[in-house]
Structure 1
């Protein structure tokens, strides 16, 4: 019987003998050559394969979310920051600041609902998500947060129209009842705002996308800082300089959180930081840092300049857009490239194998000490 038609068991035994003679590195080491009768050689091994896919498919399925979810991240933060700004104006007696925050908050949360429903495909899907409440699901919790925040922001914004209503008749009753209802609703929206600003960060970190998942400590801080900075931008744009004090303080606090978090995700995560520093995401995040710094400087320097305050407010709003879109694009890029999944997995395997190898070395353990 020829060697090509030998039974499988015989061929496997010959392979084991050959493997024992040539060494186990044959399976993963450099190419070895067997010396022939004429001094030549033939390769007995192939170089290690570069893993790029799983049977032609990506290791991870990239997020199917489009630009509307990135816009949803921004408008949700803007709604939260504006409602906090409105509450600050309400409690400190700054009507222009309160009015600007309430109106912007309603507009932003309406845009957020549109972007979310547009991504879901049908409005009924949003309604179906309200059938249950799962504290372990960031999406379910976020849906309820948005449902609680939206009506409160709406009542607070509608209350700003009370001075335009007639003093008598049924509308006169509304003129008298709307201001206290608006004050209560504004405070309710402000209490809900921190959860609205940060739940999307928890939602991203709860996915299998490598650069989102590994940045779970920093993403809530980035999103909270971005929300405060965007709310400050609204105040600097819309309120007179004499009433913009809380907006300036929001700008400083928000910029500190946002810049700290952005610096951490670009330097702490090792390989996972790469998507945030390169490509479109890197350019957006660098632009966001520059605009944030410019906005804070303009807010502090332009205390008496209406034009400079407005420019600073626009810079802070643009910075928030760049930051949210940059974080979004960085996560998508890490899911599309298999190295951000495969390389860390190999490193974890090596770390687990290293203690076992050390324990098997001669002289290891209490007997060899």
Structure 2
């Protein structure tokens, strides 16, 4: 039993060596914990590394309430519309009227479907109109809403002018305007997804724009192969190959960089969709390049495969994000890795 006492003049009767040593041993303990539990002399730490469990097993994040049919469809159709307008302008300028017309019509239809899917997810059409009341450059949703509002009339005017054969100069101007906005329409949904806290989307912010642009180009090339004559589909074959290469490279780079979060793209429903999309994209791109120049049925089948591949990628990305939000480890483990990397950085200098 201790016989020490605290007086006004200090501690009386304290045993020698009993004073607390502030900070003593803390550096070694942290180093042992991070280095796998071993100290400088090889002894093993007696305190095991804690395993993460969330509060009552509930998600750390509230998963988005988005429906896959609406939002993944919105991603896919918006990409098809934007990339289709770029390819349509190129086809018109190089004397491929049938391809240009098919892509103008498909871009307008895809934009209408994309907007309908977004409004359906919002619940009321008035909510989309309310987003146009202000312009907020720091908000991807606000910028995207204004982008769709500017792109839609131009894409529609280009299609109507071509189908009706009226106002060719105005139609040409609308075609060029839609093509200028097309890349932004095809890629802004990647920024929109990466701006959320969903780990599979937020952590993939570097690669997602390239993935979405490659997927959109692949879809536009597939639509051109499906709907245009063989004599005019040479640009579509090249765009399909390029889009497939960009999308595949972006997916592989993202999976290498994301660490444990990459599991969400490889496993479960998302993994099945991503693998099917990869197989369909390679088959469609190679089929279009090797057979599409001679056979109209082969070109159409290749184009359909490319469209299915692009849709599969968008739905795969969507389901990967939902799974990463539902499982706490995909939020906490990357945070721990980043924290440990920051702690170790001064020691390495």
What range describes the TM-score normalised by the shorter chain of this pair? Answer: 0.7 to 0.9
1:220 to partner: Cα distance: 0.5
Mapped contact 2:101–2:163 kept (Cα < 8 A): no
**Aligned residue number for residue 111 of structure 2:** 109
1:159 to partner: Cα distance: 1.0
Relative to structure 1, the CA distance from residue 86 to residue 350 in structure 2 (aligned partners, 3 Å threshold; closer, same or farther) is closer
Relative to structure 1, the CA distance from residue 102 to residue 354 in structure 2 (aligned partners, 3 Å threshold; closer, same or farther) is closer
**What SS does the aligned partner of 2:210 have?**
helix
Q: Deviation per CA, 1:8-63: give whole Å up to 9, x if none.
A: xxxxxxxxx9xx9xx999xx9xxxxxxxxxxxxxxxx9977643323553111111
Question: Aligned partners of 1:49 and 1:55: how far apart in 2?
Answer: 17
Which structure's CA Rg is the greater one? 1
**Aligned residue number for residue 69 of structure 1:** 71
Question: Aligned partners of 1:183 and 1:352: how far apart in 2?
Answer: 54
Matched, 1:283 2:272: yes
1:268 to partner: Cα distance: 2.2
**Aligned residue number for residue 86 of structure 1:** 88
Relative to structure 1, the CA distance from residue 93 to residue 352 in structure 2 (aligned partners, 3 Å threshold; closer, same or farther) is closer
Question: Aligned partners of 1:97 and 1:325: how far apart in 2?
Answer: 27
Question: Aligned partners of 1:99 and 1:129: how far apart in 2?
Answer: 32
Question: Aligned partners of 2:345 and 2:317: how far apart in 1?
Answer: 37
Mapped contact 1:237–1:314 kept (Cα < 8 A): yes
Mapped contact 1:60–1:336 kept (Cα < 8 A): yes
Mapped contact 1:265–1:276 kept (Cα < 8 A): no
**Aligned residue number for residue 316 of structure 1:** 306
**Aligned residue number for residue 39 of structure 2:** none
**Aligned residue number for residue 321 of structure 2:** 331
Alignment of structure 1 residues 247-326 onto 2, 5 Å: 247-302=236-291, 303-326=293-316
- How many pairs does the alignment contain? 310
1:160 to partner: Cα distance: 2.3
Relative to structure 1, the CA distance from residue 246 to residue 49 in structure 2 (aligned partners, 3 Å threshold; closer, same or farther) is same
1:354 to partner: Cα distance: 4.2
Question: Where does the alignment leave 5 or more consecutive residues of structure 2 unmatched?
Answer: 1-17, 34-45
Matched, 1:345 2:335: yes
1:146 to partner: Cα distance: 0.6
**Aligned residue number for residue 31 of structure 1:** none
Question: Aligned partners of 1:224 and 1:48: how far apart in 2?
Answer: 42
1:352 to partner: Cα distance: 3.9
TM-score under structure 2 length normalisation: 0.83
**What SS does the aligned partner of 2:127 have?**
helix
Alignment of structure 1 residues 1-369 onto 2, 5 Å: 50-67=51-68, 68-163=70-165, 175=166, 177=167, 179-302=168-291, 303-354=293-344
Question: Aligned partners of 1:75 and 1:240: how far apart in 2?
Answer: 23
**Aligned residue number for residue 32 of structure 1:** none
**What SS does the aligned partner of 2:138 have?**
coil
Question: Aligned partners of 1:240 and 1:263: how far apart in 2?
Answer: 34
TM-score under structure 1 length normalisation: 0.79
1:225 to partner: Cα distance: 0.7
How much is the aligned-residue C-alpha RMSD, in angstroms? 2.4
Question: Where does the alignment leave 5 or more consecutive residues of structure 1 unmatched?
Answer: 1-16, 29-44, 164-174, 360-364
Q: Deviation per CA, 1:184-219: give whole Å up to 9, x if none.
A: 111110100000000000111111111111111110
**What SS does the aligned partner of 1:134 have?**
coil
Question: Aligned partners of 2:345 and 2:240: how far apart in 1?
Answer: 49
**Aligned residue number for residue 9 of structure 1:** none
Question: Aligned partners of 1:350 and 1:185: how far apart in 2?
Answer: 53
Question: Aligned partners of 2:57 and 2:287: how far apart in 1?
Answer: 51
Mapped contact 1:232–1:251 kept (Cα < 8 A): yes
Q: Deviation per CA, 1:98-152: give whole Å up to 9, x if none.
A: 1100100110000011001011111111111001111111101100111111101
Relative to structure 1, the CA distance from residue 92 to residue 339 in structure 2 (aligned partners, 3 Å threshold; closer, same or farther) is same
